[in-house]
A and B are shown apart, each in its own frame.
Chain A
Amino acid sequence: MSADLTAEDEALAALLAGCAAGDAYALERLYRDVSPLLFAALVRILRRRSLAEEVLQEAFVAIWQRAGSYERSKGRPMAWMMSIARYRAIDVVRRERRAPLLVPELPESAADEAGAESADALPLVREAAFERCLALLSPVQRECLQLAFVGGSSHGDIARVTGNALGSVKSWIRRGLESLRSCLRASA
């Protein structure tokens, strides 16, 4: 279905297996390894550090509790954990109607407060197929997908931020997904 696990994926999967077996140290290692990525994503979606901290806690509680159900068919470990965190954040944002209105820079003060921010971008696998397929989208389709996936923005948020009609935003996202899907399927 997708690319083989990398060495990093294997290490994360092993830590998840440790969590499933009740090894608290495995969870601590996992937290050390992946919390900076999850926290960065949560701060971007939630815009409030205190809220992001709460959701990060909930996400790790859920990761610990659900580690026993993780298996290869659930996707790469990082994507599996990121999804747990993102869905919680999206639920919170939608419920509180505190969707981000102005995007997409990270509040500088928040980054300073955190102290140890690495200068590197996330160590995510660059997948040639994905890059090629992403490049086939129109710039506005790409931007919409980016705002939704990375910023957690709703259709309405994206329409406001980009100054476009809601209907246009919906159809760009729909067509963007369709193009990505057919391109990725063709290159699988």
Chain B
Amino acid sequence: MKTPPTDPELLYRLAGEYVLGTMTGPARRRFARWREESARVDECCVFWEERLMPLLRELKPLEPPAHVWPRIEARLALGNRAGGPVRAARTRRMLAVAATVLLTVVAGSLLYRSRVAPLPTLEAATVATSTGAPIWELRILGRAETPGALAIQTRAGATPPTARAYELWALPKGGKPVSLGVLPAVAGTITRTLAANQWQALLVADRVAVSIEPPGGSPTGQPTGSIAFVSPLRRGG
């Protein structure tokens, strides 16, 4: 069966098996694809997803361990975000408090070290409009094998299309793009710590690209929207 069945009752039953999880293997993958492509299939899945929820009431809520949330924050680099348009004042206060605590704790070590030996700029790129006006100045900071940081200076003209975000990608030679996160839309400079996979990708990348994505970034981990800019990485500052 290459396309979803036309018989609605059959489609509802297949959707039920998909939602229950009893549809497996290639059939499951195919059904997931149908769902993405067809509003009719999606509707049948939503029907069961909503209707079967009461079956879960036998479960008792279970508080996840305290270390889970910080890991989610770290993975999404929420602490480094440039500040969404509607970020609550409370978040800013919490971040300010956290920053103060962090500064106090690390002042003796990290801060001192970074003053003594600031991370050198390994590579840099300028993402510019077609007329050559720079929008983002990117600097990759670090030393050899240890994951470093990405400094992003945002200039004017960084506003993405309505309800979209600009996402930055490293383009490793012969490899898949690796996300470097959503780019700030407001002018200013931020520095983002890079994860090991981002660092490895940058070490073998010769270009960066900027794609247009849903708010918060690509849902798939690969660019889903059109590529707005591609810029070469150059050695040193």
Confirm or deny: B109 has a beta carbon within 8 angstroms of a beta carbon on chain A. no
Whether B64 and A150, one on each chain, are in contact in the complex, defined by CB atoms closer than 8 angstroms, is: no
- CB contacts under 8 Å to A, within B126-169, are 163, 165
Confirm or deny: A136 has a beta carbon within 8 angstroms of a beta carbon on chain B. no
CA distance A145 to B53 in the complex (A): 12
> Which residues of A lie under 8 Å from residue B163 when comparing CB positions?
68
Confirm or deny: A13 has a beta carbon within 8 angstroms of a beta carbon on chain B. no
CA distance A181 to B17 in the complex (A): 12
Most chain B beta carbons < 10 A, residue from A23, A25, A76: A25
Most chain B beta carbons < 10 A, residue from A22, A27, A119: A22
Query: What are the interface flags for A114-137 relative to B under an 8 Å C-beta threshold, 1 for contact and 0 otherwise?
Result: 111111111011110011001000
Whether A155 and B21, one on each chain, are in contact in the complex, defined by CB atoms closer than 8 angstroms, is: no
Confirm or deny: A109 has a beta carbon within 8 angstroms of a beta carbon on chain B. no
CA distance A148 to B56 in the complex (A): 11
Confirm or deny: B108 has a beta carbon within 8 angstroms of a beta carbon on chain A. no
Confirm or deny: B5 has a beta carbon within 8 angstroms of a beta carbon on chain A. no
Chain A nearest CB: distance from B16 CB in Å?
Answer: 4
- CB contacts under 8 Å to A, within B13-58, are 13, 16-17, 19-22, 24-25, 42-43, 46-47, 49-58
Name the CB-closest residue of A to B89. Answer: A25
Interface size class of B (residues with CB under 8 A): 35 or more
> Which one of B63, B81, B84 lies within 8 Å of A36 (CB-CB)?
B63
Q: Which of B111-119, B188-196, B215-223 contacts A (4 or more CB under 8 A)?
A: B215-223
Q: Which of B66-74, B99-107, B201-209 contacts A (4 or more CB under 8 A)?
A: B66-74
Chain A contact residues, majority secondary structure: helix
> Which residues of B lie under 8 Å from residue A19 when comparing CB positions?
216
Confirm or deny: B214 has a beta carbon within 8 angstroms of a beta carbon on chain A. yes
CA distance A38 to B107 in the complex (A): 38
Whether B13 and A43, one on each chain, are in contact in the complex, defined by CB atoms closer than 8 angstroms, is: no
Name the CB-closest residue of A to B18. Answer: A87
Confirm or deny: A184 has a beta carbon within 8 angstroms of a beta carbon on chain B. yes
Confirm or deny: A46 has a beta carbon within 8 angstroms of a beta carbon on chain B. no
Confirm or deny: A12 has a beta carbon within 8 angstroms of a beta carbon on chain B. no
Whether B13 and A181, one on each chain, are in contact in the complex, defined by CB atoms closer than 8 angstroms, is: yes
- CB contacts under 8 Å to B, within A84-114, are 86-87, 90, 94, 106, 111, 113-114
Whether B216 and A83, one on each chain, are in contact in the complex, defined by CB atoms closer than 8 angstroms, is: no
> Which residues of B lie under 8 Å from residue A75 when comparing CB positions?
46, 49-50
Confirm or deny: B59 has a beta carbon within 8 angstroms of a beta carbon on chain A. yes
CA distance A53 to B68 in the complex (A): 7
Whether B214 and A118, one on each chain, are in contact in the complex, defined by CB atoms closer than 8 angstroms, is: no
A-B pairs with lowest CB-CB distance, top 4: A22-B84, A36-B61, A25-B91, A177-B16
Partner-A contacts on B (CB < 8 A): 9, 12-13, 16-17, 19-22, 24-25, 42-43, 46-47, 49-65, 68-69, 71-73, 75-76, 78, 81, 84-88, 90-91, 94, 163, 165, 182, 214-219
Partner-B contacts on A (CB < 8 A): 1-2, 18-28, 31, 35-37, 39-41, 43-44, 49, 53, 56-57, 60-62, 64-69, 73-76, 78-80, 82-83, 86-87, 90, 94, 106, 111, 113-122, 124-127, 130-131, 134, 145-146, 148-150, 152-155, 173-174, 177-178, 180-181, 184
Known A73-B43, A117-B61; further 13 A-B contacts with Cβ < 8 A? A22-B182, A23-B86, A25-B91, A31-B69, A36-B63, A53-B65, A56-B68, A65-B214, A73-B42, A75-B50, A125-B53, A153-B21, A181-B13
